[in-house]
A and B are shown apart, each in its own frame.
Chain A
Amino acid sequence: MMKKIAVLLLSLSLLATFLTACAQENGAEDQTPANSTSENDTAEDETPGTEEPEEGVDLTILYEADDDMINNYSLLAVNPDAPFVDADGNAVSDVYINTEGAAALINWMLSEEGETTATEYGYADYGEYLFYLSEGAPVSTAEIPQATEETKVIRLSTTTSVNDSGLLGYLLPIFEDTYGYTVEVTSAGTGNAIANAKSGNADLLLVHSKSQEEEFVAGGYSYVLPSFDSERLTFMYNYFVLCGPSADPAGVKNAASVRDAFAAIAEGKYPFVSRGDQSGTHTKEISLWPEELGITVDAASVEDYTDWYTYSNAGMGVCLTMAEETGAYILSDKATFLTFQANNGVME
């Protein structure tokens, strides 16, 4: 009766409490490997791929390393005195920003150790480098303070492509181990990641969209750190890749430039899958089509091309599967494509 139900509820709440205690214990010993989403699983994912080569993906990289496909990544510290406004547009003055933590992380990522580590990422897993150091990348020699109770938690807002590449899972534990910080990474499309910072929910940004970054700076949301001379700290880059069926019906492999390749796809109306989600990849893809097609991030602009152009509004992985299954061309960031390839036709 009532007593029995009380026993039932009590035992369940005890379980919840117990788990809370467990989680805290875990959290305490767990300064080390924050964010390594794909680090562990890539190793596992590779196994089925190598075992069953006949089921491999047909989608291959057809065109890459064109200057128009460069993808620049920048770090931006969020200005604690930025003109933050709430949802109704009223000024908010007391937004909490961990400026010291953000400065420490930026100084470390732009130190020799940070930059070297970032650029060597990927070779061990994919036999290819995924990020390259930008020419004239700022280098910091600033002293990095140990974390204090107040500066310990650093909120990094980044784009999905960075997060999915596994770079941060490789990079951040080194920083966290040495200096005692915990970096909490949230990822979203570039526009979203920046909006997140504008709402005071991030201490720094790692993004890849020049125009949106400049807008962020112009709005007063970023500031120049003592050891640097600019708000936007562009320090590494990689390439987008144009992928498609290995048979390459549009012949983009031999195109003189990536713009010619896109023109050939549009000309022959070969199927193309677009992210359609206003992400950095989507923005980049828009810029590569012949101008006379008038393709923009707006879905209405591709209404006349629905016979070959798929405006999918989905994540990179989903779009890659779609392209694989429909024999379509697609623009992808290299890291996600390599993960996809390593996963190898996963849905049996």
Chain B
Amino acid sequence: MKTAFVQALALITSGDRQLGIILVTTLRMALSSSMIALLLGAPLGVLLGSYAGRGKRTLVVINRTLMGLPPVVVGLVCYMLFSGVGPLRHLRLLYTVTGMVIAQVILLVPLIAGSLESHVSTVAPDIRETALGMGLSRGRILLLIINESQYQLVSAYLLGLGRAFAEVGAVSMVGGAIAYKTNVMTTAIMNYTNMGAFTTALALGIILLAISLVLNAGVALLHWRLEG
């Protein structure tokens, strides 16, 4: 393990060009997919959480099932769709970062929606009753609920971001781990592991964890700063 830490440090300080590109690709993919997933998943989660009518339980169960989607299955489906003989072949998305982002968004949207849904479900009834009693409109009530879920929004985003960083099943299938193009930290780790280069693989793992720490700390700081 010590060697891996030393090597991780050496890799970072050496300014290794290949590592740099892997890092940039990883960040680009994970930030894009988590952001898009937040923009899609958060409204879904808030709507689902604040909705109290018929069929809510069914929708929640469906979403929870989707939260458990195995990444490889999503990867496989995207692979088949984007493949040279697949129905979406003309988009030429296989082995591209865009394709990887799409696969990750499919994985992350239920996760973010579910995490918000469970929070909103607990606060929404009280907020709704209070706001209705004050004669506020449905639109205002929804805004109040979103306003009330700020902290949860940030933590749902971080949940998605963490998953996007750590996920390997979908991105390796859709991205193909092409060096200098779609190779990200996790696929590189897998690749080195298969080659028997365990120390290098572990060093990359340490770096991945460090980036995740920096990003999480950054978002948390920003959040606290904004909260005052």
Residues of A within 8 A of B (CB): 1-2, 4-5, 7-9, 11-13, 15-16, 19-20, 22-23, 26-27, 30, 33-38, 40-41, 44-45, 48, 84-87, 92, 94-97, 155, 160, 164, 169, 184-187, 199-201, 314-318, 320-321, 336, 339-340, 343, 346-348
Contact = CB atoms under 8 A, between A and B. Distances in A.
Interface in B76-111: 80, 83-87, 89, 92, 94-95, 97
Contacts of A40: 16, 18
B223 interface: yes
B193 A315 contact: yes
A308 B77 CA distance: 38
26 contacts: A1-B147, A2-B143, A9-B38, A13-B35, A19-B24, A19-B27, A38-B197, A44-B10, A86-B86, A96-B84, A164-B195, A186-B178, A199-B84, A200-B83, A200-B85, A201-B83, A315-B193, A315-B195, A317-B196, A336-B196, A339-B196, A340-B195, A343-B197, A346-B196, A347-B199, A348-B2
A30 B21 contact: yes
Contacts of A30: 21, 180
Contacts of A320: 196
A160 B177 CA distance: 12
A8 to B, nearest CB: 6
Contacts of A92: 85, 89
A285 B159 CA distance: 44
A48 B1 CA distance: 13
B147 A317 contact: no
A314 B153 CA distance: 40
A320 B94 CA distance: 32
A198 B10 CA distance: 42
Interface of B: 1-4, 7, 10-11, 16, 18, 20-21, 24-25, 27-28, 31-32, 35, 38, 80, 83-87, 89, 92, 94-95, 97, 143, 146-147, 150, 153-154, 157, 176-181, 191-200, 219, 222-223, 226-227
Given A12-B35, A199-B85, A87 B80 contact: yes
Contact of A339 (B38, B87, B197): B197
Contact of B24 (A26, A41, A86, A95): A26
B142 to A, nearest CB: 12
A113 to B, nearest CB: 22
Residue of B4, B83, B196, B197 most packed against chain A (CB within 10 A)? B196
B197 A317 contact: yes
Given A2-B147, A186-B95, A84 B200 contact: no
Contacts of B193: 315, 317-318
A290 B181 CA distance: 45
A250 B201 CA distance: 33
Contacts of A96: 84, 89, 92
Contacts of B18: 33, 36, 40
A32 to B, nearest CB: 9
B198 A343 contact: yes
A200 B80 CA distance: 11
Contacts of A34: 179-181
Contacts of A26: 20-21, 24
A316 B180 contact: no
A40 B16 CA distance: 8
Nearest to B2: A348
A274 to B, nearest CB: 16
Contacts of B181: 27, 34, 184
Contacts of A200: 83-85, 89
A346 B1 contact: no
Contacts of B147: 1-2
Contacts of B35: 9, 12-13, 16
A316 B195 contact: yes
Contacts of B97: 23
A35 B3 contact: no
Contacts of B38: 9
Contacts of B87: 86
Closest 4 CB pairs of A and B: A200-B84, A317-B196, A315-B194, A16-B31
A1 B86 CA distance: 45
B191 A37 contact: yes
Contacts of B86: 86-87, 199
B201 to A, nearest CB: 9
B28 A20 contact: yes
Given A44-B200, A317-B197, A343-B196, A201 B94 contact: yes
B24 A22 contact: yes
Contacts of B92: 96
Contacts of B179: 34-37, 169, 185
Contacts of B157: 12
Contacts of A13: 31, 35
Residue of B80, B87, B97, B197 most packed against chain A (CB within 10 A)? B197
A87 B177 CA distance: 23
A233 to B, nearest CB: 22
Nearest to A12: B35
